Amino acid sequence: MSKDTLTITDNRTGRTYEIPVEHDTIQAMHLRQIKVNEDDFGMMSYDPAFKNTASTKSTITYIDGDKGILRYRGYPIEQLAEKSNYLEVAYLILYGELPTKEQYDEWEHVIVHHTFVHENITQLMKAFRHDAHPMGMFIATLAAMSTYYPEGRNISDPWIRTKQIHRLIAKLPTVAAFSYRHSRGLPYVYPDNDLSYTGNFLSMLDKMTEVKYKPDPVLERALDVLFILHADHEQNCGTATMRVIGSSHTDPYTAMAGAAAALYGPLHGGANEAVLRMLMEIGDVKNVPEFIKGVKNRERLLMGFGHRVYKNYDPRARIIKQVADEVFEVTGKNPLLAIALELERIALEDDFFVQRNLYPNVDFYSGIIYQAMRFPIAMFPVLFAIPRTIGWLAQWVEMLEDSEQKIARPRQIYLGEGERDFVPMADR
Ligand code: CMC
């Protein structure tokens, strides 16, 4: 008997099956042969919320949740955050290797020269209510972009795919900045292609009457590091959505609108917004013990804590804490930091959190930095979505090129009524 197998005995029939094990995993389809009789559909596995189901093989991002390790294409997140920049990391995530100088220059040039959006998109965004949530504007505009680039539906042409990827990485900061300016009642600022990716984004957010906007180098770098940290995170809710929608061969704009919608929720990328609202509600360090009591009584969640994969400190949260110190040198300390530190201190010592391996995640400190940089809270999920663009797109390409993938279509266990005859309304 091969060592790389799993032997299963079905006690209903007494039959034994040998299931191949590859990469410490069995294929769910191999369970289908396990039947009580010939009419039996065959065994399935049941895994609500995909807690223990691998839906793909991937070479993009590696996470060891127990050890708190995150790597893109093999490179530790700590090294990338220290030594690289967002556009270089985006290239790495998409193509699998760090670019040469020539490749980088060409990549940067292409991105920088696609930052403008069609004037009709600008008009479309102006039609939103004055107080529209920027993430709602972002998602709707992203979906609408599919109507501006209909060739994007030709997803089997690698050249056309690449063109849409350039457009999305380049234009979404512009869409995001317009949604911000809109929510403030400010005129939209057009891109400045002389600036860096994050420098241009800051310019579109902040520029007023100055002829040439000069981003603060510390804030420009801090935002770039935050973008690196958010670039990809393997099969999370938003990325899984991108793959599921993409598996029906829809265009990347529509698929990404779905991914961004999944990210918007407070259990996912909307958690950074929820953390800030929670910290403001707590209001003072002295109220922290009472709040923790409410969490332990199951009245509340401690937002920014816990993770499906990390059962250790999220390595991104560790880096963000360092970046926070640099940002506060420029902006002054965010008074909410003291509350966050006290929440973390108590939670890391408390049995309720220790036993459940609940540690701060990426969203716990990011909002505090964004707020210090004067971003309104509603912009936080948008700031998560911009850098996640490359992760979604790289995973989408990987899915399309994977010959084992087909349209995503889970099974169910039907527990409803058996067949019954229709009863006319008068007889019910
Ligand atoms: N506060 C209090 N209790 C928690 C929390 C929390 N933030 N997170 C998990 N728990 C408890 C949960 O009640 C459960 O307890 P028990 O086993 O006694 O019922 C246990 O810890 C395990 O939690 P779970 O809900 O089974 O874990 P999950 O993997 O389904 O959920 C999560 C992961 C991130 C949705 C969850 O931890 C959570 O809701 N956290 C708060 C929201 C948040 O910060 N989300 C950002 C995630 S990181 C960035 C991203 O993905 O976008």
pLDDT digits (tens, 9 = 90+) for 264-296: 999 999 999 999 999 999 999 999 999 999 999
Give pLDDT, residue 333.
Answer: 86
Q: What distance in Å separates the CA atoms of residue 313 and residue 217, rounded to the nearest whole number? A: 29
The CB density around residue 115, as the number of other CB atoms within 10 Å, is 22
Say if residues 403 and 54 touch (Cβ distance below 8 Å).
Answer: no
Pocket of ligand 1 contains residue 307 by CB under 6 Å: yes
The CB density around residue 266, as the number of other CB atoms within 10 Å, is 16
Give pLDDT, residue 335.
Answer: 87
Say if residues 252 and 155 touch (Cβ distance below 8 Å).
Answer: yes
DSSP state of 25: B
Give pLDDT, residue 378.
Answer: 92
pLDDT at 59 over 90: yes
Tokens of 44: 């399935």
- Specify the residue with its C-alpha closest to ligand 1, atom 11: 356
Q: 290-345 pLDDT, tens per residue?
A: 999 999 999 999 999 999 999 988 999 999 989 998 999 999 988 899 999 999 99
Q: 3-state class of 281 per DSSP?
A: helix
Q: Where exactly does CATH 1.10.580.10 map onto the chain?
A: 58-403
Pocket of ligand 1 contains residue 300 by CB under 6 Å: no
Residue among 247, 179, 223 at smallest CA distance from 370: 223
The pTM score is: 0.95
**Averaged confidence pLDDT in the chain:** 96
- Specify the residue with its C-alpha closest to ligand 1, atom 18: 356
Kindly indicate whether the domain formed by 58-403 is annotated with CATH number 1.20.58.110. no
Q: What distance in Å separates the CA atoms of residue 186 and residue 35, rounded to the nearest whole number? A: 65
How many angstroms does the Cα of residue 153 sit away from the middle of ligand 1?
Answer: 37
Pocket of ligand 1 contains residue 304 by CB under 6 Å: yes
Give pLDDT, residue 188.
Answer: 97
Q: What distance in Å separates the CA atoms of residue 355 and residue 296, rounded to the nearest whole number? A: 12
List active site positions. Answer: 268, 307, 363
DSSP 74-113: TEEHHHHHHH--HHHHHHHHHHSSPPPHHHHHHHHHHHHT
Tokens of 61: 């991002």
User: Phi/psi class of residue 58: alpha, beta or left (left: φ > 0; alpha: ψ in -120 to 50)?
Assistant: beta
Give the list of residues 6+ apart from residue 24 with CB closer than 8 angstroms, or none. Answer: none
Q: 139-180 pLDDT, tens per residue?
A: 999 999 999 999 999 999 999 999 999 999 999 999 999 999
Pocket of ligand 1 contains residue 308 by CB under 6 Å: yes
Pocket of ligand 1 contains residue 242 by CB under 6 Å: no
Q: 191-234 pLDDT, tens per residue?
A: 999 999 999 999 999 999 999 999 999 999 999 999 999 999 99
- Specify the residue with its C-alpha closest to ligand 1, atom 47: 268
How many angstroms does the Cα of residue 304 sit away from the middle of ligand 1?
Answer: 9
pLDDT at 250 over 80: yes
Give pLDDT, residue 115.
Answer: 97
pLDDT at 2 over 80: no
